[in-house]
Structure 1
Amino acid sequence: MNRYRAQVSLWLKHPTRDLLPVCKTLGLEPETIWKRGDERRTPKGRLLGGKRDSSYCSIDLGPTSRKTVARQIEAALERLQPHRAVLRRLSSTGGKVIFCVGWFFDEDSGETFSSDLLQAMALLHIALDLHIYLPDAVEPVGSAEISKS
């Protein structure tokens, strides 16, 4: 069993384009979405002031899981492959397509991403964003070695 849990999300960003039609084409429901010019708000809806300077959406691609990150990305790529033209068009017009991985470690761990997996992502113009979350440390490393000089 893996010594971590992970969740993969799809982030779409674009300087001007409304991303809702892209989500509908992909057949995916955004968890968070805004478009350029929308008022800035907190996730709970409180106004922050100002306007959004670009469009953004985040789509959860599955629950947090102990499956390998590579396996979760492979499953996401299979879902997105039929829509490669849409993803490439978004990228070619200034947008970004990103797999965002929330990676929650129980202890020291890691994973290797094969060149085939990275190439499949590159063919769809998908970047990779890793957010690493470590367990709370009981005691910082080396704290027991306090010098008395």
Structure 2
Amino acid sequence: MNNESFSISLRTWHPAMSADALIQKIGLQPEIACSVGSRRANPSGELLDGFYPTSYCCFDMVREGFGDFTEALAPLLDQLDGKEDAFRQIASTGGRSELYVGVFVEGSSGFTLTGADIKRLAELSLELSVEVYP
């Protein structure tokens, strides 16, 4: 029995493009968005010292999944089909985009990505970041 659960977010950063421009390019509604040069704030909206050095958007793709996250990867990549140009433009102008996977485990764990999933990530100009939590 697999006791793993996971979440997957699409995260993107850009040194000059605004968060609104990133949102428009990607065509999804973010959970978190801030624009380069805007005043920093905590999650409740209270202003903090300093300004954001880059724009950042975080889009929840899978809030809570169960089992092996790699089984959810292909359907998630299907959702992002057609957005290749947006991710390429973000990357070619100094930004970056990634799928961030949080894996929550009991005991030891591991995963294998298929060649097809690796190829699709590359075609979408997406990085993959995986963090495992006990």
Alignment-derived partner of residue 35 in structure 1: 35
Q: Deviations over 1:21-75 (max 9, x none)?
A: 3323433110000000111111122222011111001000022111421222212
Q: 5+ residue gaps in structure 2? A: none
Q: Take 1:29 and 1:86, find their aligned partners in 2: how far apart are those partners?
A: 15
> Is 1:80 matched up with 2:80?
yes
Q: Give distance in 1, aligned partners of 2:48 and 2:82.
A: 38
Give the ranges of 4+ consecutive aligned residues of structure 1 lying more than 2 Å apart after TM superposition.
Answer: 19-27
Equivalence for 1:15: 15
Q: Size of the alignment, in residue pairs?
A: 134
Gaps of 5+ in 1: 135-149
Report if aligned partners of 1:6, 1:66 keep a CA contact under 8 Å in 2: yes
The alignment's TM-score, normalised by the length of structure 2, stands at 0.92
Determine helix, strand or coil for the equivalent of 2:107: coil
Take 2:102 and 2:116, find their aligned partners in 1: how far apart are those partners? 22
More strand by share: 2
| CA distance, structure 2, for counterparts of residue 22 and residue 14 of structure 1 | 8
Q: Say which one has the larger Rg.
A: 1
Two-structure CA RMSD over aligned residues (Å): 1.4
TM-score by length of 1: 0.83
1:114 aligns to what? 114
2:65 is the counterpart of 1:65: yes
What SS does the corresponding residue of 2:82 show, helix, strand or coil?
Answer: helix
